[in-house]
Homo-oligomer: A and B are copies of this chain.
Amino acid sequence: MANEKFLDAITSRDVDFAQWYTDVVRKAKLCEYTSIKGCMVYMPAGYAIWENIQKNLDARFKATGVKNVYMPMLIPESLLNKEKDHVNGFAPEVAWVTMGGANPLEEKLCIRPTSETLFCEHFAKNLNSYRDLPMVYNQWCSVLRWEKTTRPFLRSKEFLWQEGHTIHETSEEAKDRTKMMLDIYHDFVENDLAIPVIWGQKTESEKFAGAEATYTIEALMHDGKALQSATSHYFGDGFSKAFDVKFIDKNNKYVNPFQTSWGLSTRIIGAIIMVHGDDDGLVLPPHIAPIKSMIIPIGHNKPEILEVANKIYDELKKQGMVVDIDLSDKTPGYKFSNQEVQGIPTRIEIGPRDLENGVVTIVRRDNREKISISLEDVTTKLPEILKQMQKDMYQKAKEHLESHIYEAHNMDELINTFNEKSGFVKAMWCGDEACEDEIKAKTGGATSRCIPFNEEGISEKCVCCGKDAKHLVYFGKAY
């Protein structure tokens, strides 16, 4: 035991947030880069978080009638080119397959950056009558965008996501589906990831390539930067016209259906890290943590301690809770650090002194609270502690969000706020893209994050040009 050392220190979050993030990702063993710049390995601890996200969201989707499918990863150039805005948005950042085996291909194929075009092709082939509608599909897959600057989870060339694609008889129904899916993301991110968000509509300049309207949930990271956490798009019938998707309606006429798409990606793991993590590493909300508790016998070689540790392990497992037990020959201090860096929500310390008193100590990862629990109460109290922790983590993040929302009534205020503070700044906007550009240029990169659903009017005039304001906008510097 003499030559054991504690885990290497993590850079302090307040000293260098970017380095802190990289340290946490590496030390919690969430992912690592490969020899292809910007392509990541999702390691077991990182992938297990994604599996939990998938399980949770997939059940929510299916409860609303979503059916999963799988589309090819390759898109012919001619298919990508069918919708003008869409191809302009994506063509510059796709990877092209030009050879199959030793032979050059007749037409180059891109690896999907997103799959609207493939779904449209499928819809066009399979849609006949209004009786076939709605078609409400989703796929879990990876997509690839040839990004130059990459960061683990936040921006990588290849990333994992789900993309939902639906077509509907009426625009109202499609709009309802767009909102319904945003609701699901909102509820999931707030309740299961303990991440409070603001939500609303993207401005024209920030919406998805080819969409009529894009809705978004936007979270605030600990450093005050925004992260777009999920989006839901209403397409109108633009894509279905471009791809000749049509059906015979109730009046026996050929018409185009109305369409949506919506997605959430492994970026959200970056949000979990940056909202909840601290100087000791990752802090996972209990709802989404792959392991809920680490049992740590102290003085593990004593048979009576091991016996109690194993008994608690078995009992918690029996009630369906995923827990782990650290039976390594490391020091307690090392074991504690190791559990903490991985963000496991609680640990159960079982020491000789505790045992004499018939108790164990449960330590919460988020606030380090130590809770002494009698042995027979562990199975009932641990779920309660986790439930409270989930609530407290949300509350803490919500206070952070609310205390980092500012208002600006003119450009000086806006610029000064972004110079002096970090967070969202609410301001009125005339609806003109030129003002968004000017704001971005003068604030060192703040963009419109969304027009919130519950719009307040904080002034009559655009913060930038002074003309009549159309909307309240949340501005922020984003990942």
Contact = CB atoms under 8 A, between A and B. Distances in A.
Interface of A: 32, 34-36, 39-44, 47-48, 50-51, 67-74, 76, 79, 92-102, 108-109, 111, 118, 121-122, 125-126, 137, 141-142, 144, 146, 158, 160
Contacts of A118: 34, 41
Contacts of A44: 67-69, 137
Contacts of A158: 72-74
Contact of A97 (B48, B95, B141): B95
A268 to B, nearest CB: 15
A41 B68 contact: no
A97 B79 CA distance: 18
Which of A70, A76, A137 gathers most chain B CB within 10 Å?
Answer: A70
B122 A41 contact: yes
A40 B125 CA distance: 13
B36 A74 contact: yes
A95 B99 contact: yes
Contacts of A111: 73, 97, 111
Nearest to A69: B47
A146 B102 CA distance: 10
16 contacts: A32-B122, A34-B72, A35-B79, A36-B76, A43-B69, A44-B68, A44-B137, A48-B67, A51-B68, A70-B142, A72-B158, A73-B144, A74-B144, A96-B97, A96-B98, A97-B98
Contacts of A69: 41-44, 47
A50 B94 CA distance: 29
A444 to B, nearest CB: 27
B99 A96 contact: yes
B98 A94 contact: no
A39 B72 contact: yes
Nearest to A78: B35
A102 B110 CA distance: 12
A39 B118 CA distance: 11
A371 B72 CA distance: 43
Given A35-B79, A36-B109, A111-B111, A41 B97 contact: no
Contacts of A99: 95-96, 98, 108
Contacts of A47: 67-70
Contacts of A79: 35
Contacts of A39: 72, 74
A332 to B, nearest CB: 18
B36 A72 contact: yes
A56 to B, nearest CB: 15
Contacts of A42: 69-71
A146 B100 contact: yes
A162 to B, nearest CB: 13
Which of A34, A51, A118 gathers most chain B CB within 10 Å?
Answer: A34
Given A35-B76, A47-B67, A92-B102, 7 more contacts: A36-B74, A41-B122, A42-B69, A44-B137, A92-B101, A95-B99, A98-B98
A207 B65 CA distance: 44
Contact of A73 (B43, B73, B76): B73
